[in-house]
Amino acid sequence: MQIAWIGTGIMGAPMARRLLRAGHQVTAFNRTRARAQALAADGAAVADSPAQAARAAEVVFTMVPDTPDVEQVVDQIAPVLKQGTLVIDMSTIAPASARRLAQRVAEKKADFLDAPVSGGEPGAIEGTLTIMVGGEREAFERARPLLDQLGQRITYMGGAGSGQMTKLVNQIAVAVNLEAAVEAMLLATRGGLDPALVLEAIGAGAAGSWQLNNLGPKIIARDYRPGFLIKLLRKDLRLLNEAARETTTPLPALSLVTALLEAASAQGHDADGTQALAAVLAAMAGAR
């Protein structure tokens, strides 16, 4: 299949590579061209603009940082979209924006899916991402064979924007469970316990979570290498708080964690992994 891939960063590059290796023809575009160029070794063509990449494509993927980035790409490719072209945005953006983009693309008789992912760089490399998809079901069915190359748990959530809304719901649990893990490890330490032994004792029971079991050991080791960046989680929480306001949904714990992540940023942890939230609590507790 003839595919355009816009955005070849930490997530986008390994995802595009999986499609290349599955035998698809991929034309890549990235603002920093060198990053797209790296895919040429796997057989990708490299384009000078999103429109050039999209011109001959049956499917256009976008995997870029934020809402305005996706909007800009759609602005640029709109003139070359043909009837039936499938635009699949795998970035995490505002659900309301995804709905507007779907309308915009529909005006060209093309189809738009919002298909954000969870699972990070390892999931992108191994093709084990969780993918939450909103849009027309018929478009989802057409996209399915390609999405199967990228992810493992792929769920059709409903109309335009519902993939993004699901991703935001996902990020509530990610952020609040992360804070739970950070507080648990802090009391374990200050309560005089061996925190690694605590993880072993409680990780499989009612206290268990992906965040505790995967980030707990890094919190203990003060290993703040990413993983998933504080900066990007802050972006997701901005979208989340917007969606909460639009739907008048009180999310008190999420609001609290939002504030603590702002502190993490203020303390210089934007480029660290999300487990660096532990440093904020440690600083509050007077620890170095």
Sequence-distant (≥ 6) Cβ neighbours of residue 214 within 8 angstroms = none
In angstroms, give the least distance from the CB of 21 to a second copy: 24
CB of 86 or CB of 172, closer to a second copy: 172
Active site residue 167: yes
In angstroms, give the least distance from the CB of 162 to a second copy: 6
CB of 64 or CB of 281, closer to a second copy: 281
- The closest alpha carbon to 13, from 116, 121, 118, 98, belongs to 121
233 binds a second copy (CB under 8 A): no
92 binds a second copy (CB under 8 A): no
φ and ψ of 120, to 5 deg: 70, -175
Residue with the two structure tokens 């917007």: 242
- Number of residues binding to a second copy, judged by CB under 8 A: 69
Q: Are 278 and 185 in contact (CB under 8 A)?
A: yes
243 binds a second copy (CB under 8 A): yes
Q: Which of 108, 109, 167, 231 is catalytic?
A: 167
> Residue 133's beta-bridge partner residues?
156
DSSP assignments along 210-238, one per residue:
HHHHHHHHHHHHT----SSBHHHHHHHHH
Cα 130 from Cα 15, distance rounded (Å): 13
Contacting range for a second copy; rule: CB under 8 A; set: 22-30, 51-59, 85-93, 188-196? 188-196
Which residues are near a second copy by CB under 8 A? Answer: 95, 118-120, 130, 132, 153, 155, 157-158, 162, 165-166, 168-174, 176-177, 179-181, 183-184, 186-188, 190-194, 197-198, 200-202, 204-212, 214, 228, 240, 243-244, 247-254, 256-257, 260, 281, 284-286
